[in-house]
Structure formats: structure tokens, C-alpha cells
Structure 1
Amino acid sequence: MSAIKIYLADDDGDDRELFIEALSEIPLETTVTEFDNGIDLMDDLFSNKPLPDVIFLDLRMPLMDGFECLSDIRSFNQFSQVKVNVYSSSYHEREVNQLKEDGANRYLQKPTSFNQLKTLLYKSIRHLEKDDNQGSAAQFVILT
């Protein structure tokens, strides 16, 4: 099996570093491409590079936030198979419901501990092929 190709869009460099460190400690083979804003992520998606298996998309970023980025991704048919996991420190039920309606596959609340982060990432990546945005709220939202 080839490595799972992950795109991570988060404007917080410390959060990106923790994310990558946590990934390195879970039993899944992954490659990560980092972006600090949604505009650079979208530019890369439109390049001739192979598409990622999953995008972890921070909700609150400058230039293009997670809502705008998700909307853009879902408006292009060529990205329909790319899984999008919104990854944010906040949890507001109305926003989460809107993200699900807009086509996100999962909503992940950033945990407060490194071990919780590892568990969260493992859970969200392990079942990529089963992900869709039609499941129950409990399946859509992953909290630790």
C-alpha cells in the first residue's frame, strides 16, 4: 500500500509542526504537504500534481478561510473524491452543521494534548475510504 497523501492547511506553524510530529508516531504511512493559507492550497490543487487523499483544513486562516476554501474545493468536480477534514480549535454547532452541508467529510476539534492528537489523526485517517458526509453527526464530528 502506498503512503496516504495528506495536505495540511493551517496558518499556525506550531500547530502544523505538532500535527506532523503526531503523524510520525501513528502506525500509518503518510506524506504531508503543508500550506499556511487556503490560496496556496488551491493553487497546488490546480497544478498538475497528483491530488491528495485527504486535506486537513484549518477553519480560521487569513487570506482564504476554511469555509471559503471548502466551498471552492467542492465547486470543482475534479476534486470530488478528495476527502476534506476541517480541523479547528473552536466548536460551534451551527458552523459544524454548515461545514457538513458544504461538503466536508469530517469535523475535528483540535485536542489539548499530544496523545489526543495522535488518536484523533489515527481515527480520521484510518477510515478514509468509509468517509462520506451523509453519516450521523456523531460520525461527522470527531472529538477526543
Structure 2
Amino acid sequence: MSKTLLNVYLAEDDSDDRLFFSDALREIPIPSRIFEYNNGVDLMSDLTSGTNEEPDVIFLDLKMPMMDGFECLADIRDLAKYVNTPVIIYSTSYHPKEIDRLKEMGASLYLQKPSSYNQLKTLLHKCLRYVNSSERIKVEPEFVISI
């Protein structure tokens, strides 16, 4: 069942990347609201406190201070409430061993940060169509989303 407005959580320490992401998100034809965090500690604090609306999808940067994406993903998957929430890794790096580990840890998709704004819009649209699809449970997409 598709939602009319998706709650998108983004944990990303780079303010330019957060701006790039949120601008691109506003331009795709899937209505969403973004909640931004500059580290995993703040994200986890909000997830455990329940002060914001529940996320429909969480995008995690891997290389963040205080709590990196690996630690954050492990903590998210340890919370029964979020065991089925899609978590998409959003990173500049591309290391097959890391990607395999993330998949084993329960990441839903791996999105390598693209170099252009239009590519980012295309990839975010692809990710959110997957998240908002009633077929998500039945069809496993490619784990790595790229152009």
C-alpha cells in the first residue's frame, strides 16, 4: 500500500551533501518530508525517543563522526520497532566486502553517492518507488542502486 507522504530520515555529516539530497528529494514526484541528522547519535536519539513521526525509510552515510553507519545500522536493526524499516546506505565509497557486510547486517539497499544532481534525483526516485511499493516484500531489487 502506497503512502501519500513518505517520512525520509537522512543521517549525513556533510552539510553540503544534506542540502544536495534534500533539494533533489523535493524535485522528485513522490511527496516526502525529510528529517535530517548530522550524525548517527542524533538519529538514534530521535528513533528511540519517538518524538518525530516514524520513518518510512532511513538513509545512512557510512563515514560519520561519533557513530558510523555500520554502528547505526546495527542499532536500528536491534530495535524490534524498526526491523522492517528500509535502511538505505548512502555513501561515496564502494568496497565489495563492506557492501556484503552491510547486506548481511540488514541494509535494504546500497546507494553510491552520484556525481551529478540529476543522477541523484534519478536514484532517489528509484529508491523511493521501491520503498513506497506494495511489491517491496515480494520482489528483491538489486542491492546496489546505481546509474
Q: Measure how far apart 1:143 and its partner are.
A: 1.2
> What secondary structure, in the 3-state scheme, does the structure 2 residue paired with 1:72 have?
helix
Q: Does 1:40 align with 2:46?
A: no
Q: How do residues 5-44 of structure 1 correspond to structure 2 at under 5 angstroms?
A: 5-44=7-46
Deviates more, 1:73-82 or 1:115-124: 73-82
Q: Does 1:63 align with 2:66?
A: yes
Asked whether the 8 Å contact 1:54–1:82 carries over to 2, the reply is yes
Q: Please give the residue correspondences for 1:1-144 in structure 2 after superposition, counting only pairs within 5 Å.
A: 1-48=3-50, 49-128=52-131, 129=133, 130-131=135-136, 135=140, 139-144=142-147
Identity %: 52
Normalising by structure 2, report the TM-score. Answer: 0.91
What is the DSSP-based 3-state SS (H/G/I as helix, E as strand, rest coil) of the residue aligned with 2:88? strand
Give, in whole Å, the separation in 2 of the partners of 1:33 and 1:12: 15
Unaligned segments of structure 1, at least 5 residues: none
One-letter amino acid of the structure 1 residue matched with residue 29 of structure 2: P
- 2 CA distance for matches of 1:111 and 1:85? 14
Determine if contact 1:25/1:118 at 8 Å carries over to the other structure: yes
CA-atom RMSD in angstroms: 1.5
**Displacement over 6 Å in runs of 4+:** none
Q: Secondary structure at the match of 2:84?
A: coil
The one of the two structures with greater contact order (alpha-carbon pairs below 8 A, sep at least 6) is 2
Task: Report the 3-state secondary structure (helix = DSSP H, G, I; strand = E; otherwise coil) of the residue aligned with 2:44.
Answer: helix
- Does the Cα contact within 8 Å between 2:74 and 2:105 map onto a contact in 1? yes
2:89 aligns to what SS in structure 1?
A: strand
Identify if the C-alpha distance between structure 1 residues 131 and 102 changes in structure 2 by more than 3 Å, giving closer, same or farther.
farther
Contact preservation (8 Å) 1:87, 1:107 = yes
| Count, aligned residues | 141
Structure 2 alignment gaps of length 5 or more: none
